[in-house]
Each structure stands twice: as structure tokens, then as C-alpha cells.
Amino acid sequence: MELNQTTIHELQEKIRTGETTSVEIVQAVFNRIDAVEGVVHAYIALMRDSALEEAKRADLNIREGKIRALTGIPVALKDIFCTRGFRTTCGSRILYNYVPPYDATVVEKLRESGAVFVGKTNMDEFAMGSSTETSFFGITRNPWDLERIPGGSSGGSAAAVAADECIASLGSDTGGSIRQPAALCGVVGMKPTYGRVSRFGLIAFASSLDQIGPFTRDVEDCAIMMNVIAGYDPKESTSVPIEVPDYREYLSRGIEGWTVGIPKEYFIEGIDPEVLTAVQNTIKVIEESGGRCIEISLPHTEYCLAVYYIVAPAEASSNLARYDGVKYGFRSGAGNVQDLLTMYKKTRSESFGAEVKRRIMLGTYVLSSGYYDAYYKKASKVRALIKRDFDEAFKLCDVIVTPASPTPAFKIGEKTDDPLQMYLSDIFTISANLAGIPGISVPCGFTRSGLPLGVQFLSGPFEEGKLIQIAAAYEKNAKIERRRPNL
Amino acid sequence: MKIDKREVEYVAHLARLDFSEEEKERFTSQLDNILMYMDKLNQVDTSGVEPMSHAITLVNAFRDDKVGESLTHGLSLANAPEARGDCFSVPKVIE
């Protein structure tokens, strides 16, 4: 197995024993990038020079015995995280030239843990999308089938891990943007509890829903990444000051005696039959592992999508008001526009893509006087009921299992003209963001045509350990075949 | 019909966006479709339910009133599309 196909924990062992060096690993990653990036397009920008320098520094530290959690491991960052002195675009023309003067807290934490940054990965513009087709910098392709989308909005981060163009990566998840692409690319993806990981330096989309999480090759790597990024941050007012456990301690505990809830509302018409079979197989494995599966009900499930597409655009329309061409980013017709209002309108109209404009319009409409109560306030009330559903469910079970996506990866262009169809891709992941609970997507097999599938586990708030526990038990007992995309 | 072209034009102005005629037509029908879908929320009885704006109970995050590090003038202006002296430069606002 090549170094760039290996997991963090296997590489740590090889680094520790001197079998390989960070420089060798980083070179293997960039060789792979040179070979496949032309067709996958997982990255917006590469950090080739600084990565080699960081790797050399890591090797020096290793020789001196200074090994931290991720020393020398190549990691990719979604281009939504601010990186000091390095261009951060959020997949948008409006930020095409933006160079942040500071690092996001997660970037700082990865840096401090010794990680080597490979580059900034591609994404749907401002993280609005389920397919990574709306980036100003072009589309990302699914490494398993180049005619298909990698999922979104963190499609670049998922594809980079799946295509062996990095060892692990970070994404952000507002309505499923980590779990859905993880499922469609055949990797592990976790969205932590809202407030568990600091959002400082994450370019805001919908502030009450956004959360940062890792993409990894296996569950153990997910635990390692979570150990690094989780925790209270005084710079972020929604960050929660409670203790973070060592997530690796949950890896080998097993799920003997657990009760696992299967929400009946998640097994709906329109779900792909192969997805359904894969989830049924997962349920069998859980029972063989000592878990007891029971049917539960989350009665407000059918309203999640409508609530989400009111709440998220409402918050987005206000977050994106800051892009006016004054303090940073693109400005239209610099110097030639005579009045401020025209400058704002031209700047925003020329530099936001269609999906972003659609959501700004939707958000502005539902917040406008006369419609606020009918849409935003109503949605916020139904959101409370959705959260209450989960509170009730977790009185009956330890974790919940659902499909991660209703279908395998769909074809590029298939849903771009029908926003509602596109929004339905997130139907199984959105509820966790509305309720603020954590979720993990784990590979659970392949379709007959060879596309990866994922299963989702959900738990109560701040119980990411439980998710690691069941995901690790499942991964061990399901023995899903390890395949690599044929690139 | 939930929304018509005139409303789209008004909302676009509030959002500081400009659209071509063709875009206005497209957005009107797409937003109309999406808003019709949202109507299913009217089926839910929410009487007595408090609206929820955040998933966690938030308390004020206070810090001591101490001077910390802040961005320098130069760094703050470094990303400006147009700057003059120590200021961001914009089209004239006051006659």
C-alpha cells in the first residue's frame, strides 16, 4: 500500500518506528495529486512549498522525540476556513482574492498538533449545495465515477480523501455537507454537536446550523481528528465550555446491550433500493454485535426540509450582507461607479452565483415585513418540535441509525435546474443540524455498479463518543471490503 | 401564485441585487415553487410552542475588559478593493 493511501494511525506507527518520514508521505501525496487532480479537481489551491517545509520541520521534531497528535500528517482544508496569509475563497468570485489576516481556530489547532497542510479544497459556493457543482472555480468529480458528483458542499474535502490526495481533511456541515459527501465518496465523515468545535474563522453560512468536522479513511482516524479540533474557544460565543473526552477510548468498547433506534419516517418512498438493502444489512450487523434494534418515531421528519430551507437562507441572507465590495473581495467597476447603492448591487450581482442569489432572495423574502411570522417564526417553532422529537427518541435508544443519503452519487448536471430536487439530497442529514445533535456517516458497502454507500448514526448532544463507539463496532464487524477508486 | 415579478424586484432591491428580465422570470417561478413547498408547515399545530433560534441554550459570553491584540491599520486595509490613506474608499455618499 502506498503511503498516501494509509490511515493516520498507521502512518503514526511508521513515523514513530522510523519506517518512513513526513517528507516521504507528503511527496507521495503530491505525486498522487499530480497524477489525478487534473480529472478529480478536489482542490482550489495547493500549498506545495509550505507543505514540504512543514514536513521537514516535522521530521526534525520526530527525530527529537517531539511527536504530537498529527505530527507530519498531510491534511486538507475546505476553502471555507480562514488561513493566515493564504487565499481563502469560499468557492466564490466575491472572495477570489481574499487573504485572511488570521487563522481559523481549527486551523490553529491542527497547526499546533503538527499537521502538514496540503491545500484548500473545492466546495459549493458559500457551502450552499449538495454536489460541489456551484463553485466559481469549477466542479469536483467523484473519484469512483468521474461522470458523477462527489456530494456537497464539502465535496472537495471528501474527494481528496477518497482519491488518496491527502490523508484526512476538514469540512463544514450546515445541512449534511460532511455526511452526505462522505457517504457518496466512501469515507468516514462526522458532524459534531453544535458548539463542540469552534466556528471562529469559519466563513459563516447559517450560523445556528454550521459545524466543522473531519473526513477520514476509518473511524479511528475520525477519533484522532476529533481529539484535535474539539473544545471550548473563548473567541467563539457559541462554543460550549464542557470537557472533551479522549475519543480513542471509545473505539474498542463495543455496543453489547445497546438499544438502537430505527426511525420509521426515514424509510420513505423514493429511497434507492440499493441504499435500503445496505441499511438493512447494517441493522443485521448491529444486532450481531449485541445491539437491540427497535422502531422509533420522529413524527416531524417530513417538515425538516421546509424548516431548513427557511432558517438557513434567512441566516445566510444576513451573513452575506457583509459582501459589499468595500472592505475586501471583488468590487465591480472600481472607480467608475458613481453611487454607493449601484456599487453594492453591481458588485453582489456580478460576483454571487445563481444558487447563492436564490438563497439570499429566499432569506430576504422570509425575513421581510409581512412574511416574517408566516415563514421564519413558524419554521422556528417547528424546529423546536423537531428537537423535541429527538429528545423523546433518545429516552428510548442510545443511538439512531438512518441512511446518510437517499441515493448513491448522481450524475453531474442531473439536478442543477431543479433546486427542490437538489435540496432533497439532504433529507436524512438536515434534522441533526436543526436539532444541533452530532452525526457520523460510515461506509456501508457498494452498489452493483461500484458506487460507495454510507450509513448515518445520530446521538444525543455531546455524545460523539457514542457515535465513535458504534461506528467502530460496525466497521469492525461489517468487514466492508476495502476498495480503491480506479483512477 | 405565492410571489410575482414585482415582489421579486422589491426583494432584490432589499437584498442589494440586480437581475436581468430573464433572471427575474426564472427566480419568480423557482421561488414560487419553493414557497409552495414551505406551505406544508401550515399543517403543523405550533400553538404554545416557543420559537427556537439555537440548538443550545446560550448565555452571554463575557470576557474581562482587557486590551488584547488587534489587527494593524495596514492589515485591516490590505484586502480593500480601493483604499486612500488610512481609509476604505467608496463612491461619494454626501453631496
Minimum distance, in Å, between the CA of residue B37 and any CA atom of chain A: 7
- To the query of whether residue A449 is one of the catalytic residues in this protein, the response is no
Q: What is the pLDDT of residues A441-462, one digit of tens each?
A: 999 999 999 999 999 999 999 9
Instruction: For residue A130, name the pLDDT band (cuts at 50, 70, 90).
Output: very high
- Segment A150-176 mean pLDDT: 98
Cβ-based contacts of A430 with chain B (< 8 Å)? none
Identify the bridge partners of residue A86 per DSSP, sorted by sequence position: A83
Least-confidence region, from A280-294, A451-465, B52-66: B52-66
Interface test with B, best of A381, A387, A423, A458 (most B CBs within 10 A): A381
Quote the ipTM score: 0.95
- Interface check A325 vs B, CB under 8 A: yes
Query: Least CB-CB distance to A368: which of B14, B53, B92?
Result: B14
pTM above 0.90, yes or no: yes
- Segment A207-227 mean pLDDT: 98
Least-confidence region, from A33-47, A120-134, A177-191, A336-350: A336-350
**Contact A234/B61, CB-based, under 8 Å?**
yes
- To the query of whether residue A135 is one of the catalytic residues in this protein, the response is no
Closest residue in chain B to residue A420, using alpha carbons only: B34
Instruction: For residue A422, name the pLDDT band (cuts at 50, 70, 90).
Output: confident
Cβ-based contacts of A380 with chain B (< 8 Å)? 51-53
Closest residue in chain B to residue A382, using alpha carbons only: B46
- To the query of whether residue A172 is one of the catalytic residues in this protein, the response is no
Query: Least CB-CB distance to B12: which of A334, A361, A384?
Result: A361
Query: Least CB-CB distance to B54: which of A208, A303, A419?
Result: A208
- Segment B29-46 mean pLDDT: 94
